[in-house]
Amino acid sequence: MRAERASKPPVYSFLFDRVLTRTDPEKAHHAAFRAIRAARPVTGLRRTPGNPVAALGLTFPNVLGLAAGFDKNAVGIDGLGALGFGHVEIGTVTGEAQPGNPTPRLFRLPDDRAVINRMGFNNDGAERVAARLAARAWGRPPGGPVLGVNIGKSKVVPEDEAVRDYEKSARLLAPHADYLVVNVSSPNTPGLRNLQAVEKLEPILTAVQKIAEGTPLLVKIAPDLADDDVLGVADLALAIGLDGIIATNTTISREGLRTPAARVEEIGAGGLSGRPLTDRACDVLRLLRGRVGPDLTLIGVGGITTVADARARLDAGATLLQGYTAFVYEGPLWPRRIVKGVQQ
């Protein structure tokens, strides 16, 4: 595992080490997100950094986006874009509103620059999020971030009714999305990862494709898939004309962590994100690119912290990049730092 770290600005470093690490992570997230939204009149005056990227029939302002999970309910898209993200992926949104899993459900592992979450797709539901996106469309600023919408299965919906549930979300949300993502790879909804099996995934994707009607469609997969299963998803994507694949989601693995084992065991179940994913997420991306050829859009996510990480993911075949955990650890200047670094 690489020892290299990005360096936080001194002010953010002090705030993170002295304040945020002593605050409940979920409460700290909400406080930070409120600050981002409040700062938008100022941050929005800054030009979006980077060179445009053509992908999915769209023009992305730059290569780096914010992964799903930060803005679950589409309440701060433009504030996040103003920090330098070229695209913002909201969600995961489910057909039915749901509170998610009991708290505490979000945990930091500072020694590993990692996070464990078992949020459980807590969100306002497809109907409310669609209404919020429709209202935003009237005042959407020119040159803002490309908008991705990530959809998942409602917990109350049985696995054998998953197609219907994804169809509901797609019908409500695709009209407001620049691109749509089917999430079948979170470890925090019982049975969800079973849907990554090609025979279960294909009917979901083909059903959503019909409803999306021209909105680019991608699928997000887990790093825990065996290599053969990764290649199976790649083959399916080509066979049905999928527009892209996002690699990867969080992992259920706990191998190689620096955090004491007793602390990891105390935290319990959940998806691990951040630095420990770097190598596997890059390997999955490289496998996919080797299988699908040069044209399919691949979005690399998982353990991208430094400019070197970002360049390595692009070298492995990523068309676009996403981050989340590094944004938490490195602060609001991180997106611009990464975007500037990869184009030098």
**Looking at residue 284, which CATH number applies to its domain?**
3.20.20.70
pLDDT for position 344 = 82
**336, 83 in Cβ contact below 8 A?**
yes
Q: List the catalytic residue out of 154, 169, 185, 186.
A: 186
Query: Is 185 in the active site?
Result: no
Residue 44 domain flag: yes
**Angle separating helix axes 278-292 and 227-240, nearest 10 degrees:** 40
Q: Give the pLDDT band of residue 20 (cuts 50, 70, 90).
A: low
In angstroms, what CA-CA distances link 134 with 12, 43, 70, 74?
35, 24, 20, 11
Residue 3 domain flag: no
- Residue 274, marked binder: yes
| E strand intervals along the chain | 53-55, 58-60, 64-66, 87-94, 106-109, 114-117, 146-152, 179-183, 217-221, 244-247, 271-274, 297-301, 320-323
- Residue 250, marked binder: yes
Residue 155 domain flag: yes
**Is residue 141 scored above 80 in pLDDT?**
no
Residue 108 domain flag: yes
Q: Give the pLDDT band of residue 138 (cuts 50, 70, 90).
A: confident
Q: Give the pLDDT band of residue 3 (cuts 50, 70, 90).
A: very low
CA dihedral 29, 35, 37, 40 (to 10 degrees): -140
- Residue 123, marked binder: no
- Residue 341, marked binder: no
- Residue 43, marked binder: no
**Is residue 108 scored above 80 in pLDDT?**
yes
Give the whole-angstrom CA distance, residue 217 versus residue 314. 21
In angstroms, what CA-CA distances link 300 with 157, 289, 303, 335?
30, 11, 10, 15
Token duo for residue 125? 């539901």
Residue 159 domain flag: yes
Element (H, E) at 167: helix 162-173
Residue 2 domain flag: no
Which of the two residues, 47 and 84, has the higher pLDDT score? 84
Q: How many domains does the chain have?
A: 1
Among the listed residues 200, 203, 197, the one whose alpha carbon sits nearest the alpha carbon of residue 225: 197
Q: Which domain, by its residues, includes 224?
A: 10-342
In angstroms, what CA-CA distances link 100 with 55, 105, 128?
33, 9, 16
pLDDT for position 19 = 60
Contacts of 293 (CB under 8 A, 6+ apart): none
pLDDT in tens, 276-311: 999 999 999 999 999 999 999 999 999 999 999 999
Residues of the chain with pLDDT > 90, as a percent, come to 86
Residue 254 domain flag: yes
Residue 1 domain flag: no
pLDDT for position 49 = 85
Average pLDDT over residues 110-129: 98
- Residue 325, marked binder: yes
Please, what is the Cα angle at 92 between 298 and 251, to 5 degrees? 65
DSSP letters, 255-300, are TT--S-HHHHHHH-SSEEEEGGGHHHHHHHHHHHHHHH-SSSEEEE
**316, 286 in Cβ contact below 8 A?**
yes
